[in-house]
C-alpha cells in the first residue's frame, strides 16, 4: 500500500471523541474491552513512524527546472467515481476502491486521488 500523509493529531482527536461517545452512551461488561482497544489504537497512532513530506517548492529547488517537474512528481492524482452495473457503490478509477458514500467523498480514502468535481 502506498504511503500517504495524514494529520496524526487530528486522527488521535477523532479517536478520543469516538471513544468518549461510545463508552458514555453504552454500558455493560464489554465497555472496558472497548476502552482498552481504543487505548491501544491511540498508543499506536502516537508511536507511528513519521515520513518526510516533500512540497512542490522542495522539488523546484531540488530539480531546478521549474514548476512542471514539481507538478509531475508531487501533484495529487486525479480520479473519478465509476459506476458499476447492479451496484449502488462506485469505484475509484485509479485504485478500484469501492464506496457507497462516493457522493460525500472528494478524495479516494484508499489512494488519496482527488475526484473530479471534488473540493480542493
Cβ–Cβ under 8 Å, residues 36 and 16: no
Q: How far apart are CA 56 and CA 72, in angstroms?
A: 10
Average pLDDT over residues 6-25: 82
* Predicted confidence (pLDDT) at residue 82 exceeds the cutoff of 50: yes
Instruction: Note the pLDDT tens digit of each residue in 28-51.
Output: 777 888 888 888 888 888 888 776
Summarize the chain as % helix, strand, coil (round to 5). 45, 10, 45
Lowest mean pLDDT among 67-71, 74-78, 104-108: 67-71
Domain map (residue ranges) of the chain: 1-75, 76-120
User: Cell numbers of 118, please?
Assistant: 471534488
Confirm whether pTM is higher than 0.75: no
Q: Burial of 38 by CB count in 10 Å (0-12 exposed, 13-18 middle, 19+ buried)?
A: middle
- DSSP output for 23-57: HHH--STTHHHHHHHHHHHHHHHHH----PPPPHH
Amino acid at each position: 500500500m502506498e504511503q500517504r500523509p495524514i494529520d496524526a493529531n487530528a486522527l488521535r482527536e477523532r479517536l478520543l471523541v469516538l471513544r468518549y461517545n461510545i463508552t458514555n452512551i453504552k454500558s455493560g461488561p464489554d465497555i472496558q474491552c472497548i476502552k482498552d482497544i481504543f487505548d491501544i489504537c491511540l498508543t499506536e497512532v502516537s508511536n507511528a513512524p513519521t515520513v518526510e513530506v516533500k512540497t512542490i517548492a522542495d522539488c523546484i529547488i531540488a530539480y531546478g527546472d521549474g514548476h512542471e517537474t514539481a507538478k509531475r512528481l508531487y501533484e495529487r492524482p486525479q480520479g473519478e467515481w465509476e459506476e458499476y452495473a447492479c451496484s449502488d457503490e462506485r469505484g475509484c478509477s485509479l485504485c478500484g476502491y469501492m464506496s457507497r458514500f462516493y457522493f460525500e467523498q472528494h478524495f479516494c480514502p484508499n489512494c488519496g486521488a482527488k475526484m473530479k468535481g471534488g473540493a480542493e
